[in-house]
Chains A and B, each alone.
Chain A
Amino acid sequence: MSLRGAAYIAGAWEHPTRKAPDKSIALLHAECAKGALADAGLTKDDVDGYFCAGDAPGGLGPLSMVDYMNLKCRHVDSTDVGGSSYQVAVGHAMEAIAAGHCNVALITLSGRPRSEGQATGTAPRPGNPAAPEMQFEYPYGPATANLYGMCAARHMYEYGTTSEQLAWIKVAASHHAQHNPHAMLRDVVTVEDVVNSPMVSTPLHRLDCCVISDGGGALILTKPEIAKSLKRPLVKVIGVGESPKHQAGGEIDLTYTAARWSGPPAWEMAGIKPSDIKYASIYDSFTITVLMQLEDLGFCKKGEGGKFVADGNLISGVGKLPFNTDGGGLCSNHPANRGGITKIIEAVRQLRGEAHPKVQVPNCDLAIAHGTGGALGTRHCGSTVILERE
């Protein structure tokens, strides 16, 4: 049985804060939940399914947050695959709704790495001591930026991708961010600005990297009957896919991402192809992340991502594939170091016709929101959501 259309995104809300030193992480989650419920026209008492990931405080999956928000749930899920967890949660929520395990699913993300002063991308982050790879990785200093730098270096070696081509991805994001009053970086930048910004970890420059921000977001998924009783435009989930990619016992290939595997089931469920997509939210922890995912999702051939993103092809109103029209992680925000949920929220805005008028895609009826969580250089999860305006 296909799950196509088994759930709708009825509520979507992004926290406007980018720096929240005076709010707890739990409060940020709750504020996002309140915002998404108000957006949907539902109340806290309607929620009977809760979905979160590793950013939810407390350490036992959803337990602390359902307690804090005093939710009465009959279904919970806390699959944690980093920044891709929220696309995964959309798929899992759709499954739970289709199975009758819940009717109104709440998904939240929040965090405050900026207020906490995390050197998110440039310092190795020790993980769980029991992680079996730890002894063979941590002493070598795997920070986030160099794990993605290794992917960029190999992609350049195999396909001739250039720093200037990567820079176009940041340029496009900055063109969009200038219209987002909440974005951290609102200045339009040029290719020269990007390639002349300080090197962080070769070949990635400072402007190839996403921002570090506080904030969060939340989504409400519900079954078709409830969605159609609400007053919001109908945004139907028509395709989902998820897949992890890892080091495969040492058979390393860093030229592609897990999108190669999470994309096909989503396209098949949706019954559409990449050229049908009007708007794309693509996870943008770094410029190279976007380029590789676009290839792996089938928007262009493998190795041709550099040409595809160049010359403004990702700029709304200019190019063929408008992407991350809120400014994305590269310019707007990357709450909790996890950008998955904001990708979905901007796709919902586009499908509702509620994006900023300067970046709104005309007649936007089909959108994709793809997430990557973990690190492309070691192990990560790809998760794909395809949405349709009904």
Chain B
Amino acid sequence: MAYVARKIPFVGTPDTNPETRPFFDGADAGKLMIRRCTSCKKVHHYPRELCPFCFGDCTWEQASGKAKIYTLSVMERASPPYAIGYVTLAEGPSVLTNFVDCDFKALKIGQDVKVVFVKTEDGGPSLPFFAPA
């Protein structure tokens, strides 16, 4: 895939961050990993060890990868332009992402999208991006 995401701008992460490493290991294996609370059962994003709704302990699970576009903005000043947005996962939370494999001008709020995985620069981990379903 031609698109390469920006490098996470500091050295050693996420390798040295055990709280988030399963998310990036999952992405490298083509899985979108999300956190669910063992106490209140709610799913959240970005992933945390303690549930941001009740401070309960969380487990990892694989999300379906299905989502709808909540909003987006195409940065036309950038070269090349890129499209940032939030997508609302079928499991509930909305996540910040970029859109790939599409004509940015054709993207619509409410549109169905699916997860794809993109490598970051300089051998960094993969990250979930979204493309039209």
Size of the B side of the interface (Cβ < 8 Å), in residues, is 45
Q: At the interface, yes or no: B97 with Cβ under 8 Å from chain A? A: yes
Interface string of B99-123 (1 = CB under 8 A from A): 0000000000110000000001000
Chain A residues within an 8 Å CB radius of B93: 249-252
CB pair B20 A153 closer than 8 Å: no
Q: At the interface, yes or no: A202 with Cβ under 8 Å from chain B? A: yes
Interface string of B66-101 (1 = CB under 8 A from A): 000011111111100010111010001111111000
CB pair B8 A150 closer than 8 Å: no
Give complex CA distance A139, B75 in Å: 14
Stretch at the interface among A121-129, A172-180, A233-241, A353-361: A121-129
In the complex, residue of chain A having the shortest beta-carbon distance to the beta carbon of B12: A129
Give complex CA distance A147, B86 in Å: 10
Interface string of B17-36 (1 = CB under 8 A from A): 10010001000000000000
Chain B residues within an 8 Å CB radius of A150: 71-73, 84-86
Q: At the interface, yes or no: A230 with Cβ under 8 Å from chain B? A: no
Which A residues are within 8 Å of any B CB, using their own CB? 122, 124, 126, 129, 132-143, 145-147, 149-154, 157, 198-204, 247-252, 254, 378
Give complex CA distance A378, B84 in Å: 12
Q: At the interface, yes or no: B41 with Cβ under 8 Å from chain A? A: no
How many residue pairs at the A-B interface have CB separations less than 8 Å?
Answer: 131
CB pair A153 B78 closer than 8 Å: no
CB pair B77 A145 closer than 8 Å: yes
Partner of A146, one of B51, B73, B120: B73
CB pair B8 A252 closer than 8 Å: no
Give complex CA distance A363, B13 in Å: 58
Chain B residues within an 8 Å CB radius of A247: 46, 94
Q: How far is the CB of A142 from chain B (nearest CB, A)?
A: 6
Partner of A249, one of B8, B53, B71, B72: B53
Other than the known A142-B96, A150-B73, A252-B94, what 10 A-B pairs have Cβ atoms closer than 8 Å? A124-B6, A129-B10, A132-B48, A153-B109, A200-B75, A201-B73, A201-B75, A247-B46, A248-B52, A249-B52
Chain A residues within an 8 Å CB radius of B8: 134-135, 138-139
Chain A residues within an 8 Å CB radius of B24: 135
Nearest 10 interchain pairs by C-beta: A250-B93, A149-B73, A249-B52, A249-B44, A252-B94, A136-B46, A129-B10, A250-B45, A154-B71, A146-B73
Chain A residues within an 8 Å CB radius of B109: 153-154, 157
Chain B residues within an 8 Å CB radius of A140: 5-6, 84, 96-98, 127
CB pair A122 B13 closer than 8 Å: no
CB pair A141 B84 closer than 8 Å: yes
CB pair B77 A122 closer than 8 Å: yes
Chain A residues within an 8 Å CB radius of B110: 157
Give complex CA distance A201, B97 in Å: 15
CB pair B46 A146 closer than 8 Å: no
CB pair B84 A250 closer than 8 Å: no
CB pair B95 A250 closer than 8 Å: yes
Chain B residues within an 8 Å CB radius of A153: 71-73, 109
Q: At the interface, yes or no: B65 with Cβ under 8 Å from chain A? A: no
Chain A residues within an 8 Å CB radius of B45: 136, 249-250
Residue from B8, B84, B85, B98 whose CB has the most chain A CB atoms within 10 Å: B84
CB pair B46 A141 closer than 8 Å: no
